[in-house]
Structure 1
Amino acid sequence: MIQVKADFDPRRPTERRLSHTGFAMALDRPIGIFALGASADYGRRVADRLHLPLEPVEERDFEDGEHKSRPMVDVRGRHAVVIHALYGDDQQSVNDKLCRLLFFIGTLKEAGAARVTAVTPYLCYARKDRQTKPRDPVTTKYVARLFEAAGADCVVTLDVHNLAAFQNAFRCEAVHLEALPLFVNHFASRLGGESVTVVSPDIGGTKRAEEFRRALAARIDREPLAAFMEKRRSSGTVSGDTLVGDVRGKTVVILDDMISSGTTLHRAAMACRKAGAVQVHAAATHGLFVGNWHETLGDPAIDSVTISDTIPPLRAMESPISRKLTVIDATGLVADYCAASVSR
């Protein structure tokens, strides 16, 4: 069964929880929470945390493939928060969802919204953030320009692939929320007294893994070891299988920002098993589950997979992988930001 874990533990003093009473008192500037399409459930849960309604939206598709969406409430002078995760699924492509979000931002501005915040729990095109070959595109920057042109005053996302590239791409306000405390909570309660090594599946993710390792150490009162995998990617081909670090006799947590096909995590898991790891747990904020993910994540080398709910795990729900999948609720991070943004 897929498990859904609560995101905040009120007993932990290091975590900031929403004060719904304080938030209600801070609503001297009205705020409206909107969500498009497949993100409606996520948006509703954010609104519920704030004790606000999810505002109604009309969405219409036309026979020629065009569409329109509009808010069904007055937004003039209000702060409008629109939630839409930009991943592709069987109903809409990434480009469809991006286009719909941009049009809705423009519609909110046209209708007189004083401020529009676009919350994209998963931000598309964030992986191509620099030129690695001659004449390469930098799509992160181009997407930022589209948001700005549509009228977004602020763009919020969770655990973007490259934080520096995200922050530098936008001229409007860009807010980055980290799910790391949620994963620390999950693994701190699960690992018990086991000897742990935190593994980054590539050199580029070592900073993320190190932040997680230090936070986990503070919670479990012992120091996990650190390790990382060698990884090279060229023209879509991944190579390199050297593991640097001690995993023999350890419980391993492999941490990444996203799971796409699962190839990167699978390579790391196999290397850890070969080096003597007794358990291997994979964790990532975003679960895309594309390509041959059934084979890579279903391999017995991986004992468990933990993701957040930034992308609904629809592709995994009816798969055998559901037996070892845990989904962490991250809506509290967005709700917390909304409350703080209003009270500023």
Structure 2
Amino acid sequence: MRLSDFDFDLPPGAIAHHPVKPRDAAKLLHVTAGTLGDHIVRDLPSLLQPGDILVANNTRVIPAQLSAKRGEARIGITLDRPLADGTWQALARNAKRLRDGDRLDFDGTDLTATVAERRADGSVALRFDREGAAFSAALEQAGALALPPYIERPTGPTAEDSADYQTVFAQPDGAVAAPTAGLHFTPDLLAALDARGVKRATVTLHVGVGTFLPVRVDDVSEHKMHAERGIVTQDSADLINATRAAGGRVVAVGTTSLRLLESAASADGTLNPFVGDTDIFITPGYQFRIVDRLMTNFHLPKSTLFMLVSAFMGMERMRSAYDHAIAKGYRFFSYGDASLLERVA
């Protein structure tokens, strides 16, 4: 497969720079093997069946964009993901000025970090001087949201973005980017799903800065996905397995939830507890193990996420769905509208 296979024309006006309010008033395109149905997100309970299970990513977005100094040198830092040894992987502008053991002082707080390792790809491993609640509090003072580059904010993220770019599921800190399908949910919608008899579970995938990076190779098989930290608890695995055993369908909220579920699933579709990194790259031809339905936003041309939805539904079906969405004025990307995809077996 070539990168050009996943290209399409997207009018600049289709890119959403602000979310619809209320969140569940966004459009929802229901895509099956044979039909395209125009709805709004608030209709979701009627599109699911009692006994289905909705699986959302509960990661919380952190203010990952930081400005630091090493002596007199100014260093721009974007946190990427927490590592198992307690350090943070980060991207650093002016990384060539850094050496292992250097101390960084962050603007707006007394937060400091030591460069544990500087890597050839421009990334660094940073060991901060605090962790837990104290680290989170310092980030709130020193950091800013790392909004996607296609959201226009000439003067930087706003206070409104701090609320808009966080899902109702958000709990553990760790994501650089929001799991954007989850942005459409409200307490009222969750109550309606409960009343419908739809079960709910959460998993955690801390979305990294790699989600913003373009594919730079023409041969798609040569692309290397960035790893992201994920957790599937025993309780969530048990509930999802029991739902499947009873005939319920697994509905992933977002590509991040889907990627983690597929990473943690055995070949027979059994979901296992999981703690670790995943760099799973899903392209057409992939055999899905556990996810039956996917709720997801509309993605960039030539992106790994458009490749994933093409694997889920078939390339021609997704091209038709995207053509329909563009013609009908659906809004694209993080603050845009959503689709509900019913997997082609």
Q: Same fold (TM over 0.5)?
A: no
Structure of higher RCO (CA pairs closer than 8 Å, 6+ residues apart) = 2
Taking structure 2 as the reference length, the TM-score comes to: 0.31
Determine which structure has the larger helix proportion and give its number.
1
